[in-house]
Amino acid sequence: MTIPHWSSSLSKLAAELTQRRISDVMQENAGTITQQALGITIDFTKNKLTQNVLELLLEQAQQSTLKHSIAAMFSGEKINQTEQRAVLHTLLRAQQSPLAEFSAVQSAREKAAQFSDKVRAGKLLGATGKPINTIVNIGIGGSDLGPKLLLEAFAAEIPSTLSVHCLSDVDYAHAQALLASLDLSQTLFILCSKSFTTWETQTNAKLVIEQLKQKVSEAQWAKHFAGVAVDQAAMTQFGILPEHQFCIWDFVGGRYSVWSAVGLIARIALGNATFERFLAGAAEMDEHFQQADFAENLPVLLALVQIWNINYLGHDVFITLPYHHSLARFPDYQQQLEMESNGKAVNQAGEFLSFATCPYIFGQLGLNAQHAFMQLVHQSQHKSYLEFIAVPDPSVSFADDVAYRSCLAQSRALMTGTDGVSNEKTCPGDRPSTTLVLEAMTPQMLGKLLALYEHKVFVQSVLWGINAFDQFGVELGKKIATSLTESGADDADLDVSTRALIDMHQ
């Protein structure tokens, strides 16, 4: 469904272009449709997109409240209307700011940096006097995915003297196995939870404390815990030492929080210099997003071309395929960032929308995907839109750059298809894709990339008229999980299926 208040010319052009193949449309365009900034080149050419369509899309953005909304976000207005909160994840990577919140952000950043240096210097001692050399992040969702992405992306930079782990889901055997593999007397557990109430995280934390009390120290287990949360009193109540408490704020959403002390395990493992370069990359993208004209603005263009594919060409599945090992975890991160932000059907006025918003998003490393689900993308009737992320390897020739060459081959194959000798061997092609080429995979570049997608999500939320920063949809499942615990199968209102399934557990 198209966006009602947008130009009807877009609908007409979509109807026309749907009848044509991408490769034909490409012939009509004078050359490629690409945009470059900050070492990122985005090639939009393999979409059913003409300059005329792009200009109309940009007109919609110009006529929308986007310019004002960008300024409102960066200036700390409470744009998260349903929760009456500002949205200031950009402040976490700013070098300076006039905003009142900035001093608290800077103090927290400095406290995390000092703590990181202390751990890396072997000066944080456990209850038995031994130095901490193992860090475990206990968190889930935005309190897990960002740190995990960073740790895996730059694992080679983690000194051999440190080991790091992430505990997110609740599986007693898995947690016990991890704890049994560690020397708890030299392990620090970071209880990472913005709300400090997430029951998966609390469950894992309580299991760890039991083990620490048994195996290290009944009285001084807190020497092995740090906390990252909004509520300092809750951390104190839990028993976390003041010097091990790291504050975050309600003006930073969980899926936008890796830049804060939520990223503490990565700041320790990779070192402050690397983590600060990550922040600096995001700050560069923030500047670009605020300053660049929409026609040269990477987040705006990425948002508009995807809206064209979703709302005008009807692609309701978005597949993300990074072709660089450092980005193996990026699809998981992007799923939460995009689907928890824009997986909504009600606008800021509380009205149900008549058009689609965020599509289903999945993906994995591109080469692995080619040996997993790309068959469906090439030959099924599903209408997928894909984004490829590639990083050319300058140390080898194009012919020897397997990842880069495969990435280009896939996007081309998805566009051209084949007239196979039989129907079984025919690939219809005409699948649209956008290719992002990163000049190198560095901490700065990862910061730019994550900020690029954060701002793309924000642009789409503004153009769709939805709030990207609340997530009421996740509450119902938690509420029912609690009621099942309390009333179990006795609940008269319980459906027969759930009741029978509960009984299977007895």
The verdict on whether 371 is a catalytic residue reads yes
The yes or no reply on residue 201 touching ligand F6P (CB under 6 A) is yes
Is there binding between residue 255 and ligand F6P (CB under 6 A)? Answer: yes
Interface with ligand F6P, residue 140, by CB under 6 A: yes
- Measured between its terminal Cα atoms, the distance across the chain in Å is 47
Rule CB under 6 A: say whether 194 interacts with ligand F6P: yes
Among residues 474, 481, 500, 501, the one that binds ligand F6P under rule CB under 6 A: 474
Report the nearest approach of ligand F6P to the CB of residue 330 (Å): 17
Is 342 one of the binding residues for ligand F6P (CB under 6 A)?
no
Residue with the CB atom nearest ligand F6P in the bound state:
254
Query: Cβ–Cβ contacts within 10 Å for residue 300, how many?
Result: 26
Taking the C-alpha atoms of residue 320 and residue 445, their distance in angstroms, rounded to an integer, is 17
Which 3 state secondary structure label does DSSP give 315? coil
**Per DSSP, what are the bridge partners of residue 361?**
318
Spatial separation of the C-alpha atoms in residues 175 and 204, rounded to whole Å = 8
Q: Is 315 in the site for ligand F6P (CB under 6 A)?
A: no
Applying CB under 6 A, which part among 129-137, 187-195, 266-274, 485-493 lies near ligand F6P?
Answer: 187-195
Residue 168 is a binding residue for ligand F6P (CB under 6 A): no
Say how many C-beta atoms besides its own lie within 10 A of residue 63's C-beta: 11
Residue 142 contacts ligand F6P per CB under 6 A: yes
Among 29, 106, 163, 195, binds ligand F6P (CB under 6 A): 195
Residues 466 and 303: beta-carbon distance below 8 Å: no
Judged by CB under 6 A, does residue 193 bind ligand F6P? yes
Nearer to ligand F6P, 9 or 197 (CB): 197
Within 270-299, which residues bind ligand F6P (CB under 6 A)? Answer: none
Could you tell me whether strands 433-438 and 40-43 are parallel, antiparallel, or unpaired per DSSP bridges? antiparallel
- In the complex, what is the shortest distance from the CB of residue 432 to ligand F6P, in angstroms, rounded to a whole number? 30
374 phi and psi, to 5 degrees? Answer: -70, -20
One-letter amino acid for residue 297 of the chain = N
Per the CB < 8 A criterion, the answer to whether 358 and 346 are in contact is: no
Backbone angles phi, psi at 40, to 5 degrees: -115, 125
**Does residue 143 belong to the site contacting ligand F6P (CB under 6 A)?**
yes
Query: Which of 200, 276, 284, 340 is labelled catalytic?
Result: 340
Task: Tell me the C-alpha distance between 428 and 449, whole Å.
Answer: 32
Among 76, 147, 254, 271, binds ligand F6P (CB under 6 A): 254
Contact 389, 436 (CB under 8 A): yes
- Which residues are catalytic, by number? 340, 371, 478
Which positions touch ligand F6P (CB under 6 A)? Answer: 140-143, 193-195, 198, 201, 254-255, 340, 471, 474
